[in-house]
Structure 1
Amino acid sequence: MTADLIAVVLLLVVAAYACAGGTDYGAGFWDLTAGGAKRGKRPRGLIDHAMAPVWEVNNVWLIFIFVIMWTGFPVLFQTVFSAMWLPLALAAVGLVLRGAGFALRKPSRRLAGRRLYGAVFAIASLLTPFFLGAAVGGVASGRVSPGTEAAADAWSNPTSLLFGLLAVAATAFLGAVFLAADARRFDAPDLDGYFRRRALGALACVAVLAVITMFVTHGDAPHVWHGFTHGVGLVFVVLAVVATLATGWLLLRPSGDWSRITAIGVVASAVIAWGMAQRPYLIPTSLTVAEGAGAPTTLRWLALVTLVAVLLVIPAVVFLYWLDTHGELEELTDTDLRRDGASGHGAPQG
């Protein structure tokens, strides 16, 4: 019973990181595709201001994931990190590089330095979610099991590649939705439209990739496919579809303030659907929750620590998000958004 509870907590934390950290990765994606220095100046200015207050705290969810995995499910931790050390190592390097690139590009005084750090931040924001998604796909496909040695097939199979592409598309979608909302908050209607169009395009990519993934898992990950199409997994698949339609409708409206909530619903429902589809396995079909769980005493202490985190840490993080989304942490000035030589709001190209 305790092991099942901790497994649910782990899944919820993964969903939280996919939404919170995914939004930051998505901002990096749009930074990469914003264009040259002149064309991309204003979108990148908005990205800098939107990310600055919260980009570091989002990694709290990743820390929770690691702690729960290595203490609550040590066999899972050992199996995943042994069999797929390469994509996870590349993701870890990407985490470090994107953080360094984002932190160093703004204070850099030389244009060449800003371009270099900006490129590092943007490219790492693309590669990190892909490798994390590929690792998750390797677990879902059942290609790893306790004792499996590292092999490219564990994370370069069809399910892994699609999960990786889905991760990139989902982060781009979240990033664009949140940036459009920030543009409305900063009274920049042209940037609102700029990112809203990109959010709709990314949402379409997510929907197409999700459909393709369903077809691929039918043959490549049959246990997960069965979970997606039956029981609790199907319920969350339906919720993800409903949230997708609602988000698309809100993005087409002049004021879509609820689009952030429905966008989170899309990604969170998809992640939870994957977790429910794997039941009762941590790794289909070789490691169940009961088999992978740590010692009962360890699980009880972990449950207590989790309760403390729920009562102390999570409210503080949620409050920080509230302050950020309500403009209480940093104000974007007209100078930051004004085009060179212009005082009005011109629409960015592209």
Structure 2
Amino acid sequence: MTAAGVVALVLLLAIAAYACAGGTDYGAGFWDLTAGGAERGKRPRWLIDHAMAPVWEVNNVWLIFVLVIMWTGFPVFFRTVFVAMWLPLALAIVGIVLRGAGFALRKPARRLAGRRLYGAVFAIASLLTPFFLGAAVGGIASGRVSPGTAASVANWANPTSLLFGLLAIAMTAFLGAVFLAGDARRFGAPDLDGHFRRRALFALAAVAVLTVVMLFVTHGDAPHVWHGLTHGVGLALVVLAAVAALATGWSLLGTAEARWSRSSAVVAVAAGVFAWGLAQRPYLVPVSLTVADGAGATTTLRWLMLVTVVAVVLVFPAVAYLYWLDTHGALEPLTDADLRSSAGDDA
């Protein structure tokens, strides 16, 4: 495999990591938006706050890694995408900023009106951000952009883009509900476990329906990607995603703790992302920009591979350990009772 091919694979890995890690957070925001009024949604929102607090910032590490690889490793691809898709990408970036601000400010806000405002900003941005990112990906997959393409609404407001955007929302909702159900079990809240299990199954059904519709639409609107998804390694990954999704649904329907549901849900989403990425081979933008043509200088690609190795050794284990600590309840915030107990011990 060439240096450009290796870096392209690293880029796809980073996108899959962001889709799974960041997607889980976006999904939590989706369920925050649909939790209901102040009284009915109080407990689900309490769980969302406690589940997201330790890791919501670190998930953007994957997005930064994606942007750095695109910018340095594939400058032609970076320029093409950000010129032709600047509006949806700008809206997604604004959504990321507003989402973070809303989540950070809604809990310490003293007034109820302020908490509701910041909560609404967090929840709405959690819905719109994955949609615009998915719409941009759909525009790329359908081949509507190429080097020199001017910005246009048609680049991202088309059947494939709209379906990719809706599928991104459904996938994040699915991941968010699965992980929140696991957190509910960890917190000993069986009612919230059932609450989010049902929503995970609903989101899984939405993902299945949108995936079938997408295959029909891409047949005529994105033929190169459709062919890649229905043949060879792309088809194998689609089958893997379907099997992992069915395993997740079976686990959620069971009466046991469904301890493997998180892993199978991540496999389902990651396999779906890889299916799309490999279906585009050998193109970064079907069918106008190949991986080789969009790659930067060979020296730059080699440095990127070295940086990736350093990140694998130093950064990724730390991030993985943080996720492990969070999912095993080792990062719980101190309560008033803990602080009073500590004060009494010191005395």
SS of the counterpart of 1:16?
helix
Question: Normalized against structure 1, the TM-score is what?
Answer: 0.95
The match for 2:134 is 133
The match for 1:324 is 326
Residues 4-43 of structure 1 show CA distances to partners (whole Å, capped at 9, x for unaligned) of: 0000000010000000000000000000000011110000
Q: What CA distance in whole angstroms lies between the structure 1 residues aligned with 2:302 and 2:13? A: 18
* 1:40-189 paired onto structure 2 within 5 Å: 40-189=41-190
Contact 1:108 1:114 in 2 (8 A): yes
Q: What CA distance in whole angstroms lies between the structure 2 residues aligned with 1:290 and 1:146? A: 14
Q: What CA distance in whole angstroms lies between the structure 2 residues aligned with 1:11 and 1:200? A: 27
> In percent, how many aligned pairs have the same letter?
79
The match for 2:204 is 203
Give the AA of the match of 1:252: L
Cα deviation, residue 331, structure 1: 5.5
Give the one of 290, 294, 297 matched to 1:295: 297
Contact 1:91 1:127 in 2 (8 A): yes
Give the AA of the match of 2:44: P
Residues 260-305 of structure 1 show CA distances to partners (whole Å, capped at 9, x for unaligned) of: 0000011100000000100000000000000000000100111101
Give the AA of the match of 2:23: G
Kindly report the root-mean-square deviation, in angstroms, between the aligned alpha carbons of the 2 structures.
Answer: 1.1
Q: What CA distance in whole angstroms lies between the structure 2 residues aligned with 1:314 and 1:137? A: 29
Cα deviation, residue 244, structure 1: 1.0
Change (3 A) 1:46 1:142: same
Give the AA of the match of 1:181: G
Q: What CA distance in whole angstroms lies between the structure 2 residues aligned with 1:78 and 1:54? A: 31
Q: What CA distance in whole angstroms lies between the structure 1 residues aligned with 2:280 and 2:323? A: 31
Cα deviation, residue 110, structure 1: 0.1
Residues 37-83 of structure 1 show CA distances to partners (whole Å, capped at 9, x for unaligned) of: 11100000000000000000000000000000000000000000000
SS of the counterpart of 1:48?
helix
* 1:6-25 paired onto structure 2 within 5 Å: 6-25=7-26
Q: What CA distance in whole angstroms lies between the structure 1 residues aligned with 2:170 and 2:335? A: 31
Q: What CA distance in whole angstroms lies between the structure 2 residues aligned with 1:74 and 1:315? A: 29
Count of residue pairs the alignment pairs up = 335
Give the AA of the match of 2:45: R
Runs of 4+ in 1 over 3 A off after TM superposition: 331-335
Q: What CA distance in whole angstroms lies between the structure 1 residues aligned with 2:170 and 2:224? A: 24
Contact 1:49 1:332 in 2 (8 A): no
The match for 1:348 is none
Q: What CA distance in whole angstroms lies between the structure 2 residues aligned with 1:298 and 1:85? A: 25
Contact 1:17 1:58 in 2 (8 A): yes
SS of the counterpart of 1:282?
strand
Residues 174-224 of structure 1 show CA distances to partners (whole Å, capped at 9, x for unaligned) of: 000000000000000000000000000000000000000000000000000
Structure 2 residue ranges without an equivalent (≥5): 338-347
Change (3 A) 1:44 1:334: farther
SS of the counterpart of 2:313?
helix
Give the AA of the match of 1:244: A
The match for 1:266 is 268
SS of the counterpart of 2:284?
strand
Q: What CA distance in whole angstroms lies between the structure 1 residues aligned with 2:335 and 2:135? A: 40
Q: What CA distance in whole angstroms lies between the structure 1 residues aligned with 2:109 and 2:335? A: 20
Contact 1:17 1:59 in 2 (8 A): yes
Q: What CA distance in whole angstroms lies between the structure 1 residues aligned with 2:335 and 2:274? A: 39
Contact 1:186 1:332 in 2 (8 A): no
